[in-house]
């Protein structure tokens, strides 16, 4: 049986790139898909009205699948509510949310201005929060018999957020925030049996096509990423939550934050001094 037979999946930012590949695969696997996208340029400018979401819906329908378009922005509470409402009015319920929408406004830290910071954090971090909250409220309201207890959230973080990256203080902070949000939601939503995981993809899209690492590369496509999103969205992932699954071409791996065992000081000797920290640095940070 197809992995998402009978499920309703919302995929934000699925008019282009990785989200589009998710939408096409999810529809082939039996999901009814809400293809959400505001349209617009890579930096989030322009857009509104007709969007690439309509073209993806057409592609899905031509292949015999079910989909509707949503043109609302993930970055406002009204937009997030409208995206979830679109799923309910078209298909009667929600089962899966993939928070994928994203923009880039790169500048080195000292040149980063407030508007660049706010717009990137609004789409990635606030958008993930707002869409997830609207989705979870709907999933819980549906109850066990209508799929609520099997709901899945797939967030989208980035190597940049997990490791840092030159010129991306706004984007890296937003993506690191999505990591913390994913961990916290996974803990809080366990009682509803809702899983919350994140993907950290690397693929050649309009977001990355001008990076030196992507030149001449044809083996890192959005289609390499989407099976991981499908896994996290499916019943195969029922017992796994709070993970970051990373994909780059044929490589499937994971990001984890580690806590080192550290070093204890005898309480009778008083608190650590800065000089002692310097002296024992290697033992303190050793994994
Ligand atoms: P993309 O630009 O092709 O797709 C992003 C889509 O999001 C666009 O269609 C855009 O219109 C849409 N969008 C932007 N703002 C929106 C909003 N407010 N509401 C709804 N839709 C909105 O980029 P992509 O490479 O496919 O990126 C998809 C996701 O993967 C992003 O979250 C990105 O940060 C993440 N990511 C990508 C890579 C990569 O290598 N391509 C690496 C790490 C993370």
Active-site residue, selected from the candidate residues 26, 135, 171, 179:
171
Q: Whose CA is nearest to atom 14 of ligand 1?
A: 102
Strand partners, 253: 246
- Cβ of 148 closer than 6 Å to ligand 1, yes or no, is no
User: How many CB atoms within 10 Å of residue 265?
Assistant: 13
Range of the domain at 281: 260-287
- This prediction has a pTM of 0.96
User: How many CB atoms within 10 Å of residue 87?
Assistant: 25
170/274 same-domain check: no
Q: Within a domain: residue 24? A: yes
What confidence score (pLDDT) does residue 149 get? 64
pLDDT at 144 over 80: no
176/163 same-domain check: yes
Q: Within a domain: residue 2? A: no
Contact between residue 178 and residue 100 where contact means Cβ atoms under 8 Å apart: no
Strand partners, 214: none
Per the structure block, which two tokens stand in for 80? 């997030």
107/245 same-domain check: yes
| 195-to-66, 138, 241, 271, 276 alpha-carbon distances in Å | 24, 15, 5, 41, 43
Lowest mean pLDDT, pick from 37-41, 209-213, 219-223: 209-213
Contact between residue 33 and residue 11 where contact means Cβ atoms under 8 Å apart: yes
How many angstroms separate the CA atoms of 131 and 19, rounded? 15
Q: Within a domain: residue 200? A: yes
Strand partners, 68: 34
Q: Which atom from ligand 1 is nearest to the alpha carbon of 203?
A: 40
How many angstroms separate the CA atoms of 224 and 220, rounded? 7
- Catalytic site residue 179? no
pLDDT at 168 over 60: yes
What confidence score (pLDDT) does residue 48 get? 64
Lowest mean pLDDT, pick from 59-63, 115-119, 143-147: 143-147
Mutate to test the pocket of ligand 1, among 12, 17, 156, 247 (most ligand atoms within 8 A of CB): 17
Per the structure block, which two tokens stand in for 53? 């979401």
90/168 same-domain check: yes
Q: Which H or E run includes 148?
A: none
Q: Within a domain: residue 3? A: no
- Scanning the chain, the segments in alpha helix (DSSP H) are 17-28, 52-62, 77-91, 114-121, 127-142, 159-163, 169-188, 222-233, 274-279, 281-285
What is the per-residue pLDDT across 46-85, written as a single tens digit (0 to 9) for each? Answer: 876 568 999 999 999 999 999 999 999 999 999 999 999 9
176/264 same-domain check: no
Ramachandran class of 48: left when φ > 0, alpha when ψ lies in -120 to 50, beta otherwise: left
- Could you give the angle at the alpha carbon of 79 between the alpha carbons of 100 and 9, nearest 5°? 45
Q: Which H or E run includes 8?
A: strand 8-12
236/276 same-domain check: no
Q: Within a domain: residue 121? A: yes
116/60 same-domain check: yes
Q: Within a domain: residue 198? A: yes
What is the per-residue pLDDT across 170-188, written as a single tens digit (0 to 9) for each? Answer: 999 999 999 999 999 999 9
Residue 20 CA to ligand 1 centre (angstroms): 10
Number of domains present in the structure of the chain: 2
Average pLDDT of the segment spanning 5-23: 97
What is the per-residue pLDDT across 147-163, written as a single tens digit (0 to 9) for each? Answer: 566 899 999 999 999 99
pLDDT at 45 over 90: no
- Cβ of 37 closer than 6 Å to ligand 1, yes or no, is yes
Q: Within a domain: residue 241? A: yes
159/283 same-domain check: no
pLDDT at 209 over 70: yes
What distance lies between CA 248 and its chain's CA centroid?
Answer: 15
219/274 same-domain check: no
Residue 192 CA to ligand 1 centre (angstroms): 29
What confidence score (pLDDT) does residue 213 get? 83
- Looking only at the bridges linking them, the beta strands covering 195-202 and 244-248 are parallel
- Cβ of 13 closer than 6 Å to ligand 1, yes or no, is yes
Q: Whose CA is nearest to atom 33 of ligand 1?
A: 102
232/268 same-domain check: no
- What's the mean per-residue pLDDT of the chain? 95
Q: Within a domain: residue 137? A: yes
Q: How many CA atoms lie within 13 A of 146 on its CB side?
A: 11
Q: Which H or E run includes 207?
A: none
Give percent of the chain with pLDDT exceeding 90.
87
286/220 same-domain check: no
Contact between residue 152 and residue 97 where contact means Cβ atoms under 8 Å apart: yes
187/264 same-domain check: no
| Predicted confidence band of residue 146 (pLDDT cuts 50, 70, 90) | low
- Report the CATH number at residue 243: 3.40.50.720
């Amino acid at each position: 049986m197809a992995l998402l037979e009978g499920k309703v999946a919302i995929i934000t930012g699925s008019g282009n790139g990785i989200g589009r590949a998710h939408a096409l695969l999810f529809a082939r696997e039996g999901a009814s898909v809400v293809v959400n996208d505001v349209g617009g340029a890579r930096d989030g400018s322009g857009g509104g009205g007709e969007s690439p979401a309509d073209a993806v819906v057409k592609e899905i329908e031509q292949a015999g699948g079910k989909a509707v378009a949503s043109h609302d922005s993930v970055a406002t509470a009204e937009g997030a509510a409208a995206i979830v409402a679109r799923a309910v009015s078209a298909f009667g319920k929600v089962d899966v949310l993939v928070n994928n929408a994203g923009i880039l406004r790169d500048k080195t830290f000292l040149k980063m201005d407030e508007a660049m910071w706010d717009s990137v954090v609004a789409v990635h971090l606030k958008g993930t929060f707002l869409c997830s909250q609207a989705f979870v409220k709907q999933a819980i309201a549906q109850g066990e018999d209508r799929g609520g207890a099997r709901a899945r959230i797939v967030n989208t973080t980035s190597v940049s957020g997990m490791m840092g990256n030159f010129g991306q203080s706004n984007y890296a902070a937003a993506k690191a925030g999505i990591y913390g949000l994913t961990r916290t939601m996974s803990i809080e939503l366990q009682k509803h049996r809702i899983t919350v995981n994140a993907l950290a993809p690397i693929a050649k899209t309009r977001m990355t096509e001008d990076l030196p690492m992507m030149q001449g590369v044809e083996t890192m496509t959005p289609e390499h990423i989407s099976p991981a999103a499908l896994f996290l969205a499916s019943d195969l992932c029922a017992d796994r939550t709070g993970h970051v699954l990373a994909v780059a071409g044929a490589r499937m791996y994971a990001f984890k934050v580690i806590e080192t065992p550290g070093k204890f000081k005898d309480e009778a000797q008083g608190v650590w001094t800065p000089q002692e920290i310097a002296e024992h640095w290697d033992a303190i940070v050793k994994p």
